[in-house]
Structure 1
Amino acid sequence: MERIVGRPAPEFTMPAVMINGEDFGEVKLNDYKGKWLVMFFYPLDFTFVCPTEIKAYSDKFEKFKAAGAEVLAVSTDSEHSHKAWIKGDLGQLRFPLASDRTKSTARDYGVLIEEEGIALRGLFIIDPEGVVRYSVVHDLGIGRSVEETLRVLKALQAGGLCPVDWNEGDELL
């Protein structure tokens, strides 16, 4: 697989359920130009680990906003499935859920499990110029740490060399 970090983020346009959980819309990479974007893929709606992650990112959304970042969640489910999930189990979110029904975005970001048609848990931080600065991909059964995502985002924004376990306010190397 070709590396993605340090390269322009692959373009995307996807239907989505917008932040109010009611309206359908469309999200494009260009919508986030000039902002940091934390984009994460998750396998499927109506599953077990996925809602824990999505709710956690929504709960910490103000911290991402304060850091000048937007959040976008993506799966290969339809936007109609997303809406039903939001209205049923998931509840109000603070960012859109995008639908990659064509699987092209998951494929472009290197997270698609072709034979299953679902995405691995891939997380990408894209800078305001549209360059991928961070990527982590792992297996389906393990949720991500929102705090670690925030720590890495702030480290990327610090503009210097960040030693192990660096946190905002710590000295750079």
Structure 2
Amino acid sequence: MLQVGQPAPDFTLEGVDGKDFREVSLSDYRGRWVVLFFYPLDFTFVCPTEIVGFNERYPEFKKLGAEILGASVDSKFSHLAWISQELGELHYPLLSDITKEVARNYGILIEQQGVSLRGLYIVDPDGVLRYELVHDLNVGRSVDETLRVLGALQTGELCPIDWRQGIKTLGKG
């Protein structure tokens, strides 16, 4: 069972980066923070709000030294069509977990439906899972909260409830 504090399961997936297909491995991002999020399916209702929301805030993630990776069980061809028809230019890749193996390894695959729950993971520069959040299919995630937690993790200190950048931490743990 996947747990915070353990190495994040590595993977190599094909995806769409810009308008191009390419392979992406989690290990390619060693030395950087990674925000990895899974969404159920392309061409749905809640998913584009999240993908566009993370895209609009991409500069804030980059400022914190983090990369974003989106993934679903759709094909890379479906991703490309969705980006071209609806989403527009994305600043981060959408990856195809067509075999569902990565969603299964992260513990978020709904086997009966063949889709993943809305899982979000923050992986530190050493490849260690530092945060995981799983939502029901019907509820989108908060980009604000993801940025808040990423910033808190990067302090390496104890952060109280509702901690935000600029607020004093509780010091080293």
What TM-score does the superposition give when structure 2 sets the normalisation length? Answer: 0.97
Residue 95 of structure 1: how far off its partner (Å): 0.2
1:156 equivalent in alignment to 2:139: no
Give me the whole-angstrom Cα distance separating, in 2, the residues matched to 1:49 and 1:29.
25
Is the partner of 1:125 in helix, strand or coil? Answer: strand
Residue 169 of structure 1: how far off its partner (Å): 1.1
Indicate conservation of the 8 Å contact 2:118/2:135, yes or no. yes
Aligned residue number for residue 104 of structure 1? 101
Is the partner of 2:141 in helix, strand or coil? Answer: coil
1:37 equivalent in alignment to 2:39: no
Aligned residue number for residue 11 of structure 2? 12
The AA in structure 1 aligned to 2:72 is: S
Indicate conservation of the 8 Å contact 1:4/1:109, yes or no. no
Unaligned residue ranges in structure 2 (runs of 5+): none
Of 89, 93, 96 in structure 1, the residue corresponding to residue 90 of structure 2 is: 93
Indicate conservation of the 8 Å contact 2:2/2:106, yes or no. no
Q: Any runs of at least 4 consecutive aligned residues in structure 1 with deviations exceeding 4 A, and if so which?
A: none
Residue 3 of structure 1: how far off its partner (Å): 3.8
The AA in structure 1 aligned to 2:5 is: G
Size of the aligned set, in residue pairs, is 170
Unaligned residue ranges in structure 1 (runs of 5+): none
1:85/1:155 CA distance change after superposition, 3 Å: same
Identity %: 59
Give the RMSD, CA atoms, in angstroms. 0.6
Indicate conservation of the 8 Å contact 1:42/1:121, yes or no. yes
Of 76, 79, 84 in structure 1, the residue corresponding to residue 76 of structure 2 is: 79
Is the partner of 2:49 in helix, strand or coil? Answer: helix
